[in-house]
Amino acid sequence: FQLAIMGKLSYRVYWFIASVFYYHFLAVMFGAPFFSEIGGTFAFSLLLASLTVLPFLYITPFDDLNALSFANFLAFPSGAASYMADLAILGSYCSAVAVPLDWDRWWQRWPIPGCAGCLAGAGLGLAVWAGGTAAVRLTGGASKKNRRRLD
Amino acid sequence: FQSEEGIKSDVSEIGSTNGSRLSAGAASFVLAAVGVCLCTGLFASGFLLSRTELRNRSACREATAGFAGRGDLRDGCWLPRRFDRVMLLLVDALRFDFLRPNRSLANRHHWAGNVLAVDELQQSRPRHAFVAHVEADAPTTTLQRLKALLTGTLPTFIDASANFGGAALREDNLIDQLLGGAANRTAVFMGDDTWLSLLPGRFQRAYPFPSFSIHDLDTVDRGVERHLAEELQRTDWQLLVAHVLGVDHCGHRYGPEHPEMRRKLREVDALIRAMLQRMDNRTLLVVLGDHGMTTGGDHGGGSEDEIDAGVALVSNSRPLLGPEDALAMRQQPPRLSQIDLVPTLALLLGAPIPFSSLGAVPPALFASPGDRGAGARDALTVNARQVMRFLETYQAAYADLPATRLAELRADAAAAIGSDVEGMRRLLDDVKDACRSVWARFDEPAIGLALTAFAVCLAFGGAFFAGPDGGKGRLATGFAVAIAACAAAFAGRAALPPALVWGLPASALLGGAASLAARLLAASAAEAPPPDTGARLSQVTSFACALTAGFASLSPLSNSFIISEPSCLLYLLQTLLLLQAAVTCVAALRRARADGLWRKPVKSLIGHPCAISALLHAAAAICLRLAFGFTTCREEARGAGWCSDADDWLAASAAVSSQSPLLSCVLALLAFLAAFRWWLRRCGNFNGYSPAVLALSYLPVPIGLCAIIHWVLQAAGSPASPLLLRIGLALATAAVFILLLAPSTAHLERRPATSRRLQAIANALARGYDLAEVAPALCRDLLGDSGEDSDNQHRGYGMRFMYRTAACGLLLFACLAALLLAGHRAVPALLLCAAAAALHAELRSAQLRLGQGRPLAKLAGWPDIVFLLLLGWAAFYACGLQPSLSAIRWDPAFIAYSAETSGSAGRFFGGVLILSGMFWGQLLATMAAPLLLLLLPLTAGHLPFVARPKWRRLLPDQSSGDFLLTDLPPGTLAGAAAGVFARLLLLAACLALGSMAAAGWHRRHLMAWKVFAPRMMFGVIGCAATAVGAGAGLLCA
């Protein structure tokens, strides 16, 4: 029994570690320096993975599915988590605009805008989700589309 | 997956729709293209100030001045000499009001009331100091100002000098005249090192300091103070130049309203006092600002604060001014042009006026009491004769001035010179105005009009090409109205108020755009596309592409984005790539769901379509990232510490061993040639003896060897002879012509007759082969022949790859020619960018195959076009180029001509070679664009090749090659290619428009001449390169 739990847990851990490294790879591909900021880049990818992949791994039921069929995993309706993930990725993507500007501010150093954008995006995503849900609850009736999305 | 018949009909439909659109809109497209060219010309004439340098020099003994025989420089050449020595203190960005006491303002402003030395002297000895405004011409940047101060001409952005060369000043100038070529005259310099690059070898003692770091307020000034103290002790020099930068840097860093500005100006005051103290009786002190600064502390443009610099001329014993003049000038400081200082200083020091000077001497400085104005008249006469001589010489050489204006000036000169002081002053002013109107003024209405008209042409050209099919008539009317508005504004731009000149066409454009948008909205509302997820995905893709292209066109508006443009481009390209990978993944998953593979467990990731597209994406992304490791830093970025050459891998590997970058480039090139050869052989192209086959098999290696040997010789330090490069280029050109004239590499072979084949089988059996081995071949042979005339049977080689072999072969030779021109630095850029393009094409092809509906309808769509165009720019940056004038590589010019003796044809070819050596990326990307049409056949489904059997049945694994294109009606493929080129051109023109708009908008920006204007030029040339590539590609098609 314990082994089975460990197996399920470790699948999630593997997925998380893989996603951290994949985000790190993407960050470097998008222009983060190879070596000089490796710690910062890794911290950024850790943060991004925690905000985007971790919630999915937490809420996805692995029991009835093969752990590798991420087709299901992607299709699983997940409300808050998907809002958060979408906007966190969007936020960290857009925050790169601040890096090349010649304003000479401390917060323009590489991992800072990315992390800030990621956090801001995640927060915004949660806020949007909460707002949407509250609106649906308050108005009582929700359209079919909304219900499916916010489920 | 749709059948081959479907593919055929799709391709022909694309070709015919593009073709019909082209034929229907051909006139309007050509019209738009012509309009774009005209607008670019108009913009250039309004923005780029151009003037041609003359190499003539004034001489000391010269009859033209009318004052020959005064002996030599010792006594004064054209006028008697009044000072022996001159100290020139150039204070960068010394605005006129910095030089005034301004005691009332000193409490409120940090810049006011600090430089008091001059004013004190003026109070105590008013006749010994001459203080004036000097108006600088835009662009108010230090280099241009220095040139103006030395030569006395109106400066321009590009001085079309007589030949290619460095920054050194070639025109006649003040320093050369003051030194007079005499060996015993000594010049000393300290300060901004720009002087030494302008005037190398003129100064016996020079103490240069780097000028670039604007964050460093003190290094230059401290150095100047130290060396000035030493030099003031000496008496052996006749000319001392000190150029301090602290005030300017303080302005850039903190602005004028900062305590640091007070400190820096007080330091200037201390410098002036030190010089005054050590000044002897035959010395003239000149304190001078090269330009002013805005309230924000910047400069570069033409606003009042920027052009209003100050000057003070101070003498010790001999008075400079008459008593009345001195009084009047204390009340009301005169206004001079900056270039007026050139003849003034030259004549005061007894030197001839530099040949190209347009300045006018202020008469007050030459009047002596009791001569009844004779001194002033003599000075003005000399000056006016010199200016008219320059004007006549220039006009004879280049004829820039309108004839009527010149005739007026000649008449005035004949009337005034020698007698009428006021007439001569007016004449000199008129000449200056005439030249300025030709050379040194932004024509703002023209700039605005050109940009607006450019946008009009682009919008309507694009709408005609890509817009909805209905309503072309209305569009044409709108286009005609907008163009008419532009033309009317152009014709009436002298009479209309400036805002109206471009406001009129702009409103027409806005109206047109609004009506177009309304039409599109109405059309989309009427159509109400089905809520298909595939359609939504493609909408997302095209939206992202539009955003990317929009950002790429708008990024030149910020100097930060221009300076770090390589990183921005990388970001955009990676965005597109990641997007394609994601879309491919989603398409694969959707396909799997449709085919019922959805719920089945996945045993292994290997062979999963998502994993394959992720791998493709990763490979392409790594190629791009590696390519961007070869970019070099701009000097601005390097100076500010944003970028270091340690990021440049070629430079880094050069640090390991001086030969290793070259060696790896050579190896990579050889590997590339070998791989290409292997691919051709594998496609069955090396059969037979057709010219194309011979060219493809025997020419690439010699051309590559030419390039390699040249690079090695260059690295070994032997004098570069262009012979090898010429041979290589000639071979490449020959190969291109061969491929164009006889592109087919297909080889037909008659099959042996049946009886002979049977004989062969019998022989094989007789030699002991087992029947079981021979039987299948026998059966195949007989079955193949059944019912047909065996004598007409042929075996074809290389048919499946006919089109793409020809296209790839042409591209290969174009690539080799580009490498010959661009040098070994281009090897990694070329190979990596080509690999990225191929992988992206593979990804797109997989995605289109997986998608539902008609995949070919999206062939060579906007995503591919945007990616390819940006990739062309990526190649530009990846071979170490930057859009700045200092980064131009002049080497390829020497292929065309070896000595300076060659004429204008040699110069033209040299220019073409230089440009194609820099913009080969854009050229090649454009020429490669039609390959996108062969995308599906070309990539031949490599995905199923890797995929597991379970996934493979999602994909068609057989490809019929180029056969399906052979049955198309003639001209279809060319029409489709023309459509691709049209899109590319449209997009390239958008990018060019963005950079032009940025340059026009920021024409007064500090970085206007350093960053924006060069970026604009490179953007326009890049667009032109795309156009040339499109033309060449169309010819080939």
User: Mean pLDDT across the stretch B329-341?
Assistant: 89
Q: Give the DSSP H/E element, type plus range, for residue A100.
A: none
Q: Do A96 and B571 touch (CB under 8 A)?
A: yes
Which is nearest to A21 in space by CA: A51, A38, A42, A37?
A42
Closest CA to B975 of B4, B155, B14: B14
| The pairing of beta strand B239-244 with beta strand B187-192 | parallel
| Three-state secondary-structure class, residue A116 | helix
pLDDT in tens, B539-548: 778 888 889 9
User: How many inter-chain contacts (A to B, CB under 8 Å) are there?
Assistant: 55
Q: Between B374 and B1037, whose confidence is greater?
A: B374
Helices and strands (H and E) in chain B: how many: 42, 12
The pTM score is: 0.70
Q: Which of B893, B899, B885 is nearest to B915 (CA)?
A: B893
Domain count, chain A: 1
Q: Which of B217-231, B572-586, B762-776, B837-851 has the lowest mean pLDDT?
A: B762-776
Taking 90 as the threshold, does the pLDDT of residue B537 lie above it? no
Which of A84, A91, A92 shows the shortest CA–CA distance to A127? Answer: A84
Cα(A124)–Cα(A91) distance, integer angstroms? 9
Q: What residue ranges do the domains of chain B occupy?
A: 81-358, 558-598+605-745+798-967
The verdict on domain B81-358 having CATH code 1.10.3720.10 is no
Among partner residues A28, A100, A102, which is closest to B625 by beta-carbon distance?
A28
Tens digit of each residue's pLDDT (9 = 90 or more) over B149-206: 898 887 665 554 333 344 678 788 888 888 875 556 789 999 888 888 888 888 889 9
Q: How far is B624 from chain A (nearest CA, A)?
A: 8
Higher pLDDT, B215 or B275: B275
Count of all residues that appear for chain A in the document: 151
CB B978 within 8 A of CB B25: no
Q: List the beta bridge partners of residue B244.
A: B91
- The partner residue sitting opposite B621, judged by closest CB among A29, A93, A99, is A29
Minimal CA separation from B249 to chain A, in Å: 16
Q: Which of B560, B571, B642 sits opposite A30 (nearest CB)?
A: B571
Of B357 and B953, the structure prediction assigns the larger pLDDT to B357
Q: Which residues of A touch B (CB under 8 A)?
A: 25-26, 28-31, 33, 65-66, 68-71, 74, 93, 96, 99-102
CB contact under 8 A, A101 and B558: yes
Q: Which of B264-278, B408-422, B805-819 has the highest mean pLDDT?
A: B264-278
Q: Which two tokens stand for residue B255?
A: 């602005």
- Identify the top-confidence range among A112-121, B122-131, B636-645, B958-967: A112-121
- B521 and chain A: CB distance < 8 Å anywhere? no
Residue B596 touches partner A, C-beta closer than 8 Å: no
Q: What is the pLDDT of residue A46?
A: 96
Crossing angle of the two packed helices B403-416 and B421-439, in degrees rounded to 10? 160
- CB–CB contact A70 B610 (8 Å): yes
Separation CA B426–CA B429 (nearest Å) = 5
Task: Specify the pLDDT at position B26.
Answer: 63
Res. B45 pLDDT band, cuts 50 70 90? confident
Other C-beta atoms closer than 10 Å to the C-beta of B447 total 24
Mean pLDDT, range B558-565, rounded to an integer: 87
* Type of residue found at B518: A
Confidence of residue A99 (pLDDT cuts 50, 70, 90): confident
State how beta strands B129-135 and B335-337 pair: parallel
- Report the gap between the CA of A34 and the closest CA in chain B (Å): 9
How far is Cα B361 from Cα B336, in angstroms, rounded to an integer?
9
Asked whether the beta carbons of B553 and B991 are under 8 A apart, the reply is yes
Which of B253, B254, B586, B589 to mutate: most A Cβ within 10 Å? Answer: B589
Pair of tokens at residue B808: 């790839």
**What pLDDT sits at residue A87?**
92
pLDDT reading at B665 higher than 90? no
| Cα-trace Rg, chain A | 18
Phi, psi dihedrals of residue B718, rounded to the nearest 5°: -75, 150
User: Tokens in use for B699?
Assistant: 């020419």
Categorize the per-residue pLDDT at A93 as very low, low, confident or very high, splitting at 50, 70 and 90.
very high
Residue of B nearest to A75 (CA): B589
In B144-266 the beta strands, taken as DSSP E runs, fall at 158-160, 187-192, 205-209, 239-244
Q: Output B225 or B806, whichever has higher pLDDT.
A: B225
Tokens of B846: 């997989």
Residue B669 banded pLDDT, cuts 50, 70, 90: very high
3-state secondary structure A17-77: HHHHHHHHHHHHHCCCCCCCCHHHHHHHHHHHHHHHHHHHHHHCCCCCCCCCCHHHHHHCC
Parent domain of A109: 1-148
**Local structure of B481: helix, strand or coil:** helix
> B250 exposed, middle or buried (CB, 10 Å; 0-12, 13-18, 19+)?
buried
Of the two residues B580 and B55, the one the predictor is more confident about is B580
CB-CB under 8 Å, B578 with A68: no
Nearest to B230 by CA among B240, B245, B220, B244: B240
Put simply, the answer to whether B559 touches A30 (Cβ < 8 Å) is: no
pLDDT tens digits, residue range A14-50? 888 999 999 999 999 998 888 888 899 999 999 999 9
Average pLDDT over residues B882-898: 71
CA distance B599 to B589: 11
CB-CB under 8 Å, A25 with B602: no
Of residues B801 and B786, the one with the higher pLDDT is B801
pLDDT at B165 (0 to 100) = 40
Cβ contact B461:B28 at 8 Å:
yes
Model confidence pLDDT, tens digit, residues B997-1008: 998 888 767 677
Q: How far is A68 from chain B (nearest CA, A)?
A: 6
From the list B154, B469, B478, the residue with the least C-alpha distance to B302 is B154
**Beta-carbon separation of B570 and A31 below 8 A:** yes
- Interface probe with B: pick from A11, A24, A28, A30, most Cβ of B within 10 Å: A30
Cβ–Cβ of B602/A68 closer than 8 Å? Answer: yes
Percentage of residues in chain B having pLDDT higher than 70: 71
